Amino acid sequence: MSHICVIGTGYVGVVTGVCFADLGNHVVCLDVDQKRIDGIKNGIMPIYEPGLEQLTAQNVKAGRLFFTTDYKEALKGAEFAFIAVGTPSGVEGEADLQYIRGAAESIADNIDTPIVVVNKSTVPVGTGDWVADVIRKRRSGKQLEFMVVSNPEFLREGSAINDFMSPDRIVLGSLDKEAAQKVARLYSSLRCPVLITDLRTAEMIKYASNAFLATRISFINEIANMCEEMGADVREVAQGMGMDKRIGHAFLDAGLGWGGSCFPKDVKALEHMAVLNGTHPQLLQAVMEINRNQRRRAVLKLRKALGGLNEKVIGILGLSFKPNTDDVRDAPALEVIRLLENEGAVVKVYDPQAMDVAAPYIKKAVFCKDAYETAENSDGLVLATEWNEFKQLDFQRIRSLMRNPVILDGRNLWDGESLRAMGFTYFGVGRGNLQNGK
Ligand SMILES: NC(=O)c1ccc[n+]([C@@H]2O[C@H](COP(=O)([O-])OP(=O)(O)OC[C@H]3O[C@@H](n4cnc5c(N)ncnc54)[C@H](O)[C@@H]3O)[C@@H](O)[C@H]2O)c1
């Protein structure tokens, strides 16, 4: 059993803490947000993540998992301090490291035993060295052994617990192989491949992985737009491509583009780092531009179908950036809503989990209780997030409720042909074989 402190109780921190506790460790999760910690202590999770609430309760009950805002208490006797605070975009697209600095300084001020500081946050290449420097300077005079290890996180919101417990790989970067091995042992019961590299390489693996996945989505979206113009079906194109083992099926779904808490900020941060270091990241720039255009193209389709958007009522199904999470950071739905409202449309919305979180960003929107209320008197209905409950809707009912039966299926979830047979004007993404989008 190891003593672990996890700093930050967002998606990554709370999942990391709860899962390490479930593996039998003594874990203290710390956050500077008192409300968040009080909530968790009262069984209210700060995020929606399937299975998390129950696993948290089990481990708290078993006496292995604790929550606090007190750094002294959290770091007392800790062998590992995992930093899992946010690294949002700064004004120029760079990763804003203020929270990392805050965490590093608090570690420096409060450690009293040798410790391995593990960076789980996604941080620019070179941050591990910088964190070591921040801690060293802060402790000037009071020497204490500490090592910094980079351990980038690859979990996906919506399946975070499973991703933590069954990872494809654990990446550990350090200048001190022994420290990396110590962290590796925390994961040994998961029986997954462990790659040990130097600090900067580990940090780059995370950015390169996210940028590559975003590139795949932008690539298939570019192909989708060609399919629309040339009469092909991108879903079958992606299927045919994915059957090639060298390509595979993942991240080849055309739609409204990528969003969420990671891809947008990480691609931007990598581009920023690249320019700052004298390289020309033209592929990343194109990947971001394709993504922006994908939202605009959806709005263009609606505008054309409805002969303008001013005073048109548009229903949006789904607000979170993907199903099974309430995270709306850089969600495509929010960008589509903004564009629609700019053109004078009235927007109605429904999401099974993300309404409260999204509310501050879409103050003019009308919040509905389900898909049917959203469709009622709408001139257009947009599927922005493919939640399970949207898979099997009563489309006859929706047809009778809508003022104008125009559907924009931004996730290619529905059977366009049968919807057209029911009298809908149906737009998918990249489904040129239905002769739509023109
Ligand atoms: N969300 C994901 O799916 C995901 C996946 C992989 C990697 N990451 C990376 O992990 C990091 C964390 O992401 P997240 O989505 O969990 O963040 P988040 O914004 O949900 O949570 C961050 C938490 O850190 C707390 N915090 C800020 N400063 C602090 C400090 N000095 N001391 C203690 N707590 C502090 C905040 O109060 C907040 O609760 C980011 O770098 C992100 O890029 C996220």
Question: Is 262 designated active site?
Answer: yes
Strand ranges inside 132-253, DSSP E: 146-150, 170-173, 194-197
Which sign, positive or negative, has the C-alpha torsion 287, 293, 297, 299?
positive
- The pick from 15, 19, 31, 40 for probing ligand 1's pocket by mutation, whose C-beta has the most ligand atoms within 8 angstroms, reads 31
Residue 219 Cα to ligand 1 middle (Å): 29
The Cα 319–Cα 335 span in angstroms is 10
Per-residue pLDDT tens over the stretch 363-418: 999 999 999 999 999 999 999 999 999 999 999 999 999 999 999 999 999 999 99
**Residue 278: pLDDT above 80?**
yes
Q: Where does ligand 1 bind, in terms of residues with CB under 6 Å? A: 7-13, 30-33, 36, 84-87, 99, 102-103, 106, 121-122, 153, 155, 157, 261-262
List the structure tokens of 359: 């509310």
Active-site position among 5, 227, 262, 368: 262
**Residue 436: pLDDT above 50?**
no
Question: Which pLDDT score, from 0 to 100, does residue 438 have?
Answer: 40
Taking residues 305-323, report their average pLDDT: 98
Is residue 313 within 8 Å of residue 406, measured between CB atoms? no
**Residue 247: pLDDT above 70?**
yes
The Cα 373–Cα 367 span in angstroms is 9
Per-residue pLDDT tens over the stretch 107-162: 999 998 999 999 999 999 999 999 999 999 998 777 778 999 999 999 999 999 99
Taking residues 229-256, report their average pLDDT: 98
Residue whose Cα lies nearest atom 36 of ligand 1: it is 8
Residue whose Cα lies nearest atom 25 of ligand 1: it is 8
Is residue 101 within 8 Å of residue 134, measured between CB atoms? yes
Question: Which pLDDT score, from 0 to 100, does residue 139 have?
Answer: 87
The Cα 321–Cα 37 span in angstroms is 25
Residue 13 Cα to ligand 1 middle (Å): 7
Q: Which residues contact 302 (CB under 8 A, 6 or more apart)?
A: 309, 312, 314, 340, 380, 382, 406, 408, 427
Question: Which pLDDT score, from 0 to 100, does residue 435 have?
Answer: 60
Per-residue pLDDT tens over the stretch 14-29: 999 999 999 999 999 9
Taking residues 246-267, report their average pLDDT: 97
pTM: 0.95
The Cα 256–Cα 429 span in angstroms is 8
Could you tell me the pLDDT band of residue 437, with boundaries at 50, 70 and 90? very low
